[in-house]
Amino acid sequence: MIQSVNSYLIPFAKNSEDIGRIEKILDAMRSVDRKFFVADKNKAYADAAMPAGEGQTISQPSTVGRELMLAGIREGNDALEVGTASGWNACLMGYLAYPGKVVSIEIFESLSKKAIRRCANLKASLGSKGKRLNNVIFKTANFFKMPVKKECDRIIITAGITSEQESLIEDAAKGMLKDNGILICPYTLGPMMILKKEDKELSKSFTLETYVFVPLAE
């Protein structure tokens, strides 16, 4: 799995900073063992998407790596994940952001509860390195109906949006991203959208490559 993710990400690297970012993502994937987050342990290290329950998926590791690379999570960042599913991506984000805080929200309470247990089991297995997951928080919530949306440095949406939802995501980015913040969001079928906030202005770009994601539930 690690070799597959590395082979996928390296062609996207433009400089030494990107190479360093990839190395940190791979280090996180070595420590945040995917076997804790999948039902079929025999397929835990396949570079493929797997069911997570409630019609959601644990994304293909190379795709997860691409989102993390685009987000550029740094130590000390406060981040939000929209769509917990298995909890794996949230723990990867927490590992990269520590001592920053990662809040992962999930519309399905059953998935949120499973993610809490999985994260706890992983932490117990990591010994002293488990502290890097201390600031990962799982909540059951609907992103579009959250009454209070705090500012954060990074937002990763792990389910696909439709073109009709794009303006809602842009509005959320304007209100929730801190200056120099980044939001990464895929479509159900298409590229990933990258929103960056600089000097209170939002810019938008897209990846050249395309992906397939389950729909973001409302």
pLDDT in tens, 111-148: 999 999 999 999 999 999 999 999 999 999 999 887 76
Give pLDDT < 70 ranges for the chain. 148
Coil, helix or strand for 37? helix
Please report where in the chains the tokens 């997860």 appear, as a residue: 64
Instruction: Identify whether the C-beta of residue 68 lies closer than 8 Å to the C-beta of residue 101.
Output: no
Instruction: Identify whether the C-beta of residue 166 lies closer than 8 Å to the C-beta of residue 147.
Output: no
Residue 217 pLDDT: 83
Query: What stretch of H or E contains 133?
Result: none
Tell me the whole-structure pTM to 2 decimals. Answer: 0.96
Has 125 been annotated as catalytic?
no
Residue 144 pLDDT: 85
Q: Which one of the listed residues 4, 16, 31, 59 is annotated catalytic? A: 59
Structural tokens at position 52 = 């997570």
Residue 218 pLDDT: 76
β-strands 102-106, 192-198 pairing: unpaired
* CATH architecture label of 2-212: 3-Layer(aba) Sandwich (3.40)
Residue 176 pLDDT: 93
